[in-house]
Chain A
Amino acid sequence: MDLTYTAEQNAFRAEIRAWLAANVPATRLPSFDATPAGFEAHRDWERKLNAGRWGMVTWPVEYGGRGLDLIQWLIFEEEYYDAGAPLRVNQNGIFLLGPTLMEYGTPAQKARFLPAMANGDEIWAQAWSEPQAGSDLAAVRAKAVRDGDEYVLSGHKIWSSRAAMADWGFGLFRTDPDSQRHKGLSLVLFPLDAPGVRRQPIAQINGEIGFAELFLDEVRVPACNRLGQEGEGWAVCMATAGFERGLMLRSPARFQVAARRLLELYRRHEAELDATVRAAVIQAWMDADAYALSIYATASRLVAGGQIGSEASINKIFWSEMDIAMQRTALSILGARAELTRLAPDAIEEGVWLDSYFFSLAGPIYAGSNEIQRNIIAERMLGLPRA
């Protein structure tokens, strides 16, 4: 066990820190979920990152990455969040579909989709959930009917993040009409501007259009847009879900920066606050560091050739609950100012804590609700019987 960085790792940290210092926009970009202008500003940022080969440092060089290991990825993320760099508008692509493509994609699919993804030319949305298939994802009804060299997609997808403005979707479809549950499903990639796709933005709790409904009416896509074998879509999706809940989507640096901002907020208002708030601020530091230590341990294990297991579900419960606790502490510090929006002259930090609080409430729901994660832990990790 050696919990110190190598000279090479320190040099890498210095390199990314210098690049970010020179390139991160001085003012916060407008939300990518509110307006097309905000969305495009984030797309431009993705292109800038990619031009510096900083888009996805763990990807192979041929797809725009640097072929680095997970420890270096963690260092990248630490510097990225430390620098206050923009959120990743293409996170569904680069963090979820990208790794899945690397694992299941044909060489042609990788060449077709990964470079465009890395450059932000194609921003991705996930199209899995349906009105009757939420936590019970295996109840998917949307179908992909084979017709020669094409699939014809029909159905109703919902809660699709970024889909209001994204370019492409990766959806779970029933390719075998006689199949039940987890069998007979396939993952198919489709352009969101294809004929037959109608998008209906859904306003979120904060008023922004962070997700959309997708109505698919005989949308034709080439059969080579299927990722993985026909009928094996469930396994492909579960691999993606592992990336989503686990290592990639919520890197620890995000929460360590949030804990530090909470600490700074506390210090500015310390005179008005009692010991319970102080204890909660200390707890935020502990929890964010515990999450970081856990991810470093997992990354070390994976770098040494290990496999990821139930960490994905465990991690998701921990970070989502930690996030809510931190945001609630922040609101308790703001007191009567907690309800002020960015439009209020007396709002603290332009009401950003309110935004973060609302967003934290989504954490235990998306990427598989925490109730489902607890079932997964109980059944697969603890070996308890299925109901």
Chain B
Amino acid sequence: MNFTFTDEQAMIGETVRSLLAAECQGSHLRALMRAGATHDAGRWRKIVALGLLGSLVPETVGGLGLSACDLILVAEACGHAGLPEPLVETAGIALPLLAALPDSSRAAAWLARAMSGDVTIALGHPVNPFVLDADVAGAIVLVVDGALHLVESAEATLIAQPSVDPFRRLFSVSAPTSAATMIATAKAAAPVLAAAVNRGALFTAAQLLGLAQRCNDLAVAYAKERQQFGEPIGSYQAIKHHLATAQVRIEFCRPVVYAAAAMPPDGGMHAKARISHAKLAATEAADLAARTAVQVHGAMGYSWEVDVHLFLKRSLALANAWGTPLYHRERCAMRVFGAPVGPAHTFAQELRHD
């Protein structure tokens, strides 16, 4: 039993955190917004150069063969920065999905291209009604009658579904599929799609955790600066208590997200429940911290000029990405009502027969 990160894991997280602290500040996000773009090609090149895209891809096919625990702090850092580019979506979700289909040469070819950072892969998973970044992706993975198809974006019909988050471009996607586009039969696709939900929910939870902390960081900084009645507003208990309450919620979300990262993504009821627990806790923390940040900023918090709304909107969007709260509560219910609970069962997992 050792619930701490290794030095290597902490270092990977710190590397991404410091890159994004330099390259993904509020001013950068605003410049992107003014340009009407959602991705910054220069920043993406620097992210690709970190060599993390293949983190969860087995070494046998050119990846790093790492686990979710190695990438969870990276996802948290991306949330904290409000990163628009799809590092989490690529390294954490899309590429492990393609890597889980070794029998498909089509999947393997696109996996190799995506690992190099030349193209991105958009993922149309049934748990998400819309497809993120389908317009800029090289290819889109779609589910048709349970089977997985990989279609080139140029061949797909996209209907834009504008999101309130200026950096999330969502689409309804349809495309002609055939035996040539299929990368997994329905039978083979089912476990792959199930693992994708777990990775999607886990890494979204980590991003929400980072977002929550960013919102509180912004509010704390403002409360130290803004003066009313001759004192910084952060010296008043009404403000202090709002910020402390948000921080408590964040601190009790953090270990749940980290523990969820240690569960096998292809695990059963116990893994699903802990990952769903993490998603719910992170959604609550981000929601509270974002609303608190708006309140502590006062009228500034309701303005376009202050960055808070960018993180509020990302929190709102991610709250329902990779499973709504209702969806995740039911997965927790399966665990709560389906297996023993109590102090000796905190770290329970199914016995694995492999």
Contacts and interface: CB of A to CB of B under 8 A. Distances in A.
B343 A257 contact: yes
Contact of B220 (A71, A281, A292, A383): A383
A22 interface: no
Contacts of A108: none
B93 to A, nearest CB: 21
Nearest to A291: B252
Contacts, number: 169
Interface in B322-343: 329, 332-333, 335-337, 341-343
Interface string A353-387: 00000000000000000010111011101111111
Nearest to A252: B343
Contact of B241 (A286, A296, A300, A374): A374
B281 to A, nearest CB: 6
Contacts of A281: 336
Nearest to A69: B1
Contacts of B245: 317, 374
A1 B234 contact: no
B3 A290 contact: no
B3 A282 contact: no
A376 B252 CA distance: 17
Interface in A242-285: 252-253, 256-257, 259-260, 263, 278-279, 281-282, 285
Contact of A378 (B243, B329, B342): B243
Contacts of B241: 371, 374-375, 378
Nearest to A286: B277
Interface in B1-36: 1-6, 9
A385 B336 CA distance: 43
B223 interface: yes
A289 B346 contact: yes
Nearest to A82: B343
B236 interface: yes
A286 B247 contact: no
B243 A257 contact: no
A6 interface: yes
Interface stretch (A42-50, A73-81, A194-202, A203-211): A73-81
Contacts of B223: 384
B70 to A, nearest CB: 9
Interface stretch (B77-85, B202-210, B255-263): B255-263
Nearest to A17: B344
B344 A82 contact: yes
B280 interface: yes
Contacts of B342: 82, 256-257, 259-260
Contacts of B341: 256, 259-260, 263, 285
B332 A379 contact: no
Given A3-B1, A296-B1, A383-B224, A256 B343 contact: yes
A318 interface: yes
Nearest to A379: B240
A326 to B, nearest CB: 13
Contacts of B237: 371, 374-375, 387
Interface in A186-240: none
Nearest to A375: B240
B286 to A, nearest CB: 15
A35 interface: no
B311 to A, nearest CB: 17
Interface in B218-262: 220, 223-224, 231-232, 234-237, 239-241, 243-245, 247-248, 251-256, 258-259, 261-262
Given A286-B280, A290-B277, A3 B262 contact: yes
Interface of A: 1-6, 9, 13, 71, 77-79, 81-82, 252-253, 256-257, 259-260, 263, 278-279, 281-282, 285-287, 289-294, 296-297, 299-301, 304, 311, 314, 317-318, 371, 373-375, 377-379, 381-387
**In the A-B complex, the 5 residue pairs with the closest CB atoms:** A378-B240, A78-B343, A253-B343, A374-B244, A384-B234
